[in-house]
Amino acid sequence: MQFYADKESRLNELDYGNIHISVSNKPTDTGGNLTIVFEDSGKGFDVQKRTQQMPQIDENNPLIFSGRGISLIENYCSTVTYNESGNRVECVYSWSND
């Protein structure tokens, strides 16, 4: 499959890299907010281009192997914020005790 071949090729080209993940929880009177920040040491990606080209999720088409993660995160989180260079994302998941 092309996806796996591309993935292997990109991993073989990688000299150095790291991902920093931070998690914080802020209780509220009615629930709370879980904030997760992912920051990659790489150059990132073009956030505007990626957002415009997001594939539609089609549960009946199992051949779509990529691009679903961003849609899933945006559906579950109250906010998803990218920095300009596309190597940092902050996701806030809010919940209620109801």
Q: How many residues does the chain have?
A: 98
Give the residue, 90 or 52, on which the prediction is more confident.
90
Q: HEC string of the chain?
A: CHHHHHHHHHHHHCCCCCEEEEEEEEECCCEEEEEEEEEECCCCCCHHHHHHCCCCCCCCCCCCCCCHHHHHHHHHCCEEEECCCCCEEEEEEEEECC
Q: What is the reported pLDDT for 63?
A: 59
Name which of 4, 87, 16 is nearest 47 in CA terms: 87
Entry pTM? 0.70
Rounded average pLDDT over 19-36: 96
For the chain, which residues make up each domain, given as ranges? 17-96
Q: Binning pLDDT at 50, 70 and 90, where does residue 20 land?
A: very high
Task: Reply yes or no on whether the pLDDT at 55 is more than 60.
Answer: no
